[in-house]
Amino acid sequence: MRKKLGIFEVLKTRLNGRLRNLRVSNTQKEALFLVVCYALRVLLALFRWFLGLHASGPTKRVLPTYC
């Protein structure tokens, strides 16, 4: 099972790993791009959770129980 990383752990990992540009401006742009992508992933996950919460509420699904 993979450990979920926070934004600071992700940036630290990326800065030590993938972001190896010679120009500082390129590294800053790539780091900003990674932050934006991470924020969009979080917002999408919240949006999917929100839709799932309201979709399962009115339907009142019955969960099978086993004896």
Task: Look at residue 37 and tell me if it is in a domain.
Answer: yes
Supply the pLDDT for residue 27: 77
Supply the pLDDT for residue 66: 53
Task: Look at residue 9 and tell me if it is in a domain.
Answer: yes
Q: What is the pTM of this model?
A: 0.47
Task: Look at residue 67 and tell me if it is in a domain.
Answer: no
Task: Look at residue 60 and tell me if it is in a domain.
Answer: no
The per-residue DSSP string of the chain comes to -PPPP-HHHHHHHHHHTT---SSHHHHHHHHHHHHHHHHHHHHHHHHHHHHHHHHHHHHTPPPP---
Domain count, the chain: 1
Task: Look at residue 63 and tell me if it is in a domain.
Answer: no
pLDDT digits (tens, 9 = 90+) for 9-48: 555 555 555 555 567 677 788 888 889 999 999 999 999 8
Bigger pLDDT: 57 vs 42: 42
Supply the pLDDT for residue 25: 75
Task: Look at residue 13 and tell me if it is in a domain.
Answer: yes
Task: Look at residue 56 and tell me if it is in a domain.
Answer: no
* Domain interval for residue 1: 1-44
